[in-house]
Amino acid sequence: MIWKTVLVVCLAVGTLAEYQISDDEREKVKEAIAAQCKKNGAEDKADDVQKAGKTFLECLKAQIDPATIQKEIEEAKPKGALDEVFGKYCARSPQLKSCFNTLIDSVSPCLDSEVRNQAEAVKNGTAQLLDFVCHKDGDRIALFIAEKGPECFKDQAAKLRQCGEPIQKSFSSIEDIKKLSLVEKCQKFDEVSTCLVNALEECPNPTPGNMAESLIKYVRKGSPCNTALPKN
């Protein structure tokens, strides 16, 4: 649970680079980072965190260019060669893991101690996610696209968003979330997960829902929830 939260925060930091935000918004993000670092006794690390966001995005772009991948996917579909496309990019998973690990190490000094102590768990979680997606050189993601997974997500977008609304409305601040016990957090995770899978299962093709369920189970198995709140 914690590693997912940290990754979201880290990706938000990445928007500092120069991507789709105004100067005013960028300044607000910088102020928020400075305040977070000061709160955790690492005021001198704020500049490093800001630079880490840009470095992270540059690291990702060096390995994966979305426009190029989309073009390659479209060209590969008629040929039935999606596995070749994803096999090529999955071969870069060690570099992608390094991108994430460097970012996590860079922002770690400014994170709350509870989260900072879970840095290794965050790295392991990221590695597990990439390993799942790149199983057998990416055959899972190739199958997902071939079986109209992206179309399923698009069709069910409204219902997928609704899955998180009850939780968003039940908490007025991050502090409220921190007060939850691990078991309570895991229960919330399971509620949202079940909702997401149910929404995707409404698609004509069962593959997207099945793959989402497999991914969620895989992630959960590697999280503290696996022992704190075992599932039958």
What mean pLDDT comes out for the span 220-229? Answer: 83
Residue, of 220 and 222, whose pLDDT is higher: 220
**Mean local confidence (pLDDT), 135-156:** 89
Say how far apart CA 180 and CA 196 lie, in whole Å.
22
What are the φ/ψ torsions at residue 173 (nearest 5 degrees)?
Answer: -160, 165
pLDDT 10s digits, 22-41: 677 778 778 888 888 898 89
The Cα 46–Cα 31 span in angstroms is: 9
CA atoms of 162 and 95, how far apart (whole Å)? 35
Structure confidence by residue, pLDDT tens digits, 52-95: 888 888 888 889 888 888 899 889 988 888 889 999 999 999 99
Residue reference for tokens 């670092």: 37
Mean pLDDT computed over 154-170: 89
Any idea where the domains of the chain sit in the sequence? 1-146, 147-232
Residues 83 and 137: beta-carbon distance below 8 Å = yes
pTM: 0.70
Give the residue with greater pLDDT, 173 vs 187: 187
